[in-house]
Structure 1
């Protein structure tokens, strides 16, 4: 919901999330290889699950980045009225 207090230079955190996903993916791969080599199946499985989660997040982030910017109202559009919690009667 738009409140009108958003900064005019706000940026999306997608690039940061992209690099954090890459960083997590690298650590998950290293952990998976290390634990599999030492025979610790439980920890290797946990790193494998973490690897799947980071790859999924990476795909979602890349998809959102490729979608490009979406419509953002300009300064001439007034902010929405905040929801006061009341229900409308029909």
Structure 2
């Protein structure tokens, strides 16, 4: 919900999220391989699931980076009214 107090030049830190995901991906791969070689299948599976989650997150981040900037309402657009809370 837009409140009208957002900065006009606000941007998401997508590139920072991307590089943090790369770091997490490296550790997830290393953990999967390391635990598999050490004979710890449970921990290897946990790192494998983390590897999958990080890969999906990276795909979403890259998709958002490729989309580029989106339209943001200017200062002449009034803020949205907050939803009215109805009590039962």
Instruction: Specify the SS of the correspondent of 1:66.
Output: helix
* Aligned: 1:31 with 2:31: yes
Count of residues in Structure 1 that have an aligned counterpart in Structure 2 = 86
Shift, 1:15, TM fit: 1.6
TM-score by length of 2: 0.89
Counterpart CA distance in 2 for 1:13 and 1:67 is 14
TM-score by length of 1: 0.87
List structure 1 runs of 4+ shifted beyond 3 angstroms: none
Mind listing any 5+ residue stretches in structure 1 that lack a counterpart? Answer: none
Mind listing any 5+ residue stretches in structure 2 that lack a counterpart? Answer: none
Q: Deviations over 1:14-73 (max 9, x none)?
A: 222111211110000111111111111111111111101100110011011111111101
